[in-house]
Amino acid sequence: MARLASWLRETVEMHRSGLIAVAAYLVVGGALYAFTAPAAPAQKQPVQRLPALTGQQSPRDAREVQLTFAPVVKRVAPAVVNVYSRSVVQTPGNPLFADPFFQRFFGMNPQQQQRVQQSLGSGVIVRPDGLILTNNHVIQGGQDIQVVLSDKREFKAKVILADPRTDLAVLKIDTHGERLPIVEFGNSDALQVGDLVLAIGDPFGVGQTVTMGIVSALARASNDASNYQFFIQTDAAINPGNSGGALVTTDGKLAGINTAILSPSGGNIGIGFAIPANLARRVVEGAVSGGVRFPWIGADGQPVTNDLAGPLKLGRPQGVLLKSVYPGGPAAQAGLKTGDVVLSVDGAEVDDMQSLNYRIATRKPGDVVRLKVSSDGRVRDTSLRLALPPESPRRDTTTVGGRNPLTGARIENLSPAVATDLQMSLFAKGVVIRSVDPNNFAARYGFQPGDIVRSVNGARVDNVYQLKKLLDGANGHWALVVERNGRKMSLTVDG
């Protein structure tokens, strides 16, 4: 027993130096003593002490174990608001009455019913005079938008800018001179996978809620290669109502705007997405200067797959393979051509058109960016000066009047600028539908924004003036060919 007592004293001494735990050795040591009879008395060995861990490596006392983000939340939370959007929508009382054939045959108008539709989301105050950033889908179609501050004061909001390309919107409330708390923009390009982040918003309308997680991934993109939606992925809990809220870093800077979740049930499963702060900053700058005008690179491309990497003399799949270059555009002026592979923009790697568009969109027209380009396996650095996409031909925006299948459609001549706005091919030509009045003929016949009118009664359509002339001279018979997402569709109407 004397040897056991001595062994225990040594063990406790070792535990005090941070090497082992007493409990584990008590179990093992007790078992060894019970079942092993030592042949000779063991000699006491001197205790080998290791250097103590520094305060940066481990907490020195209980107070340092208690990590809290309360100071950050206390500073940031007052700048995160609730956004309520109300709209009145028209719905047919009976779907049969909405059929244009039924209306013409029986000479009846569809019976419309009014229904109030409400949308709940969040927003972030980014300027002390009441400028608020939120998601476009939160306020889209809203006729009455209310903002509720964290102190429960309510304000009527005005939409300064709504940009479906980025799914961002900027609102303004009248503070009567009061300066509101804000969340400062951070540098979202500095984020790394594994960084801690906080999500602040109003999920399900239960009240302001803060959740914590990490940056799970960067450079998550949507399926549309022509838009600017390029996301930060996080496992911080994001639920319906969080849209438009703040994703902040642990130093209280805005990392992104919470936008969407991936979920089979509609609730949080740890896969949420936020629009990076660097893109959101550009939208806010555009809102206060008359509109967002993103520069373009003047080229279209596709990801480099494993099958393409070998023929392109690349060591691995990487970069964006240019499949078309607009004549006279920034890419063409920088010497880029079809078949070149863009590997990075200002040192940031790009692997698809979404990431390339995003890197360009966070810059301003006139900025010079550095591209790393591979041509037939030879890598070079190239400078490219960004510019606005040209509006040639001019838009000639017109709303179709009279009585024809396109009545109520707002149409424009296609140009690279219009194609960029509508997230279409830069080389698209013709007349495009920009928007459709939901209560007029164009909507009832199923026309949608982005449709390109190719011909009327067999005559090709090249511009707005020509389309209007063909519609007016149809003598009650319209045979239209429309292109939608690369597919051509025909519609014949008599009346």
Within a domain: 140? yes
Among 85, 137, 374, 451, the one annotated catalytic: 137
177 with 253, same domain?
yes
Query: According to the model, what pLDDT value does residue 65 have?
Result: 55
Cβ–Cβ < 8 Å for 490, 455:
no
Within a domain: 468? yes
305 with 285, same domain?
no
Within a domain: 53? no
Within a domain: 67? no
Residue where a domain stops, chosen among 385, 410, 441: 385
Other C-beta atoms within 10 Å of 397: how many?
Answer: 12
369 with 326, same domain?
yes
Q: What is the CATH number of the domain that holds 341?
A: 2.30.42.10
431 with 346, same domain?
no
Q: Is 396 considered catalytic here?
A: no
Residue where a domain stops, chosen among 338, 360, 385: 385
Average pLDDT over residues 296-323: 94
281 with 323, same domain?
no
The residue type of 68 is T
210 with 261, same domain?
yes
Query: According to the model, what pLDDT value does residue 495 have?
Result: 73
Other C-beta atoms within 10 Å of 251: how many?
Answer: 10
Average pLDDT over residues 283-293: 89
Nearest in space to 476 (alpha carbons), one of 455, 495, 491:
495
317 with 284, same domain?
no
Nearest in space to 67 (alpha carbons), one of 212, 283, 276, 185:
212
Residue with tokens 């539908």: 433
Summarised one tens digit per residue, pLDDT across range 375-423 is: 999 999 999 999 999 998 999 999 999 999 999 999 999 999 998 888 7
Within a domain: 62? no
Within a domain: 61? no
Domain that holds residue 180: 72-292
Within a domain: 129? yes
Average pLDDT over residues 251-257: 95
Query: According to the model, what pLDDT value does residue 221 have?
Result: 66
Structural tokens at position 475: 């003598």
Q: What is the pTM of this model?
A: 0.74
42: pLDDT strictly greater than 50: no
Indicate left, alpha or beta for 406 from its phi (over 0: left) and psi (-120 to 50: alpha). Answer: alpha
Q: In the chain, how many domains are there?
A: 4
Within a domain: 202? yes
Measure the CA–CA gap between 493 and 101, rounded to whole angstroms.
9
Cβ–Cβ < 8 Å for 350, 336:
no
Q: Is 87 considered catalytic here?
A: no
332 with 239, same domain?
no
Instruction: Report the percent of the chain where pLDDT is more than 90.
Output: 60
Handedness of CA 378, 379, 382, 387 (dihedral sign): positive
138 with 217, same domain?
yes
Q: Is 421 considered catalytic here?
A: no
Burial of 469-492, coded b for 16+ CB within 10 Å and e otherwise, reads ebbeebeeebebbbbeeeeeeeee
Among 122, 188, 216, 243, the one annotated catalytic: 243
218 with 112, same domain?
yes
29: pLDDT strictly greater than 50: no
39: pLDDT strictly greater than 50: no
Confidence of residue 477 (pLDDT cuts 50, 70, 90): very high
The bridge status of strand 452-456 relative to strand 431-436 is antiparallel
Q: What is the CATH number of the domain that holds 253?
A: 2.40.10.120
Nearest in space to 99 (alpha carbons), one of 90, 109, 91, 89:
109
201 with 333, same domain?
no
Neighbouring residues of 373: CB distance < 8 A, sequence distance ≥ 6: 336, 340, 341, 342, 343, 379, 380, 381, 382
Instruction: Report the percent of the chain where pLDDT is more than 70.
Output: 79
373: pLDDT strictly greater than 70: yes
Average pLDDT over residues 151-159: 94
108: pLDDT strictly greater than 80: no
Residue where a domain stops, chosen among 264, 292, 320: 292
Among 85, 119, 122, 167, the one annotated catalytic: 167
Confidence of residue 88 (pLDDT cuts 50, 70, 90): low
261 with 309, same domain?
no
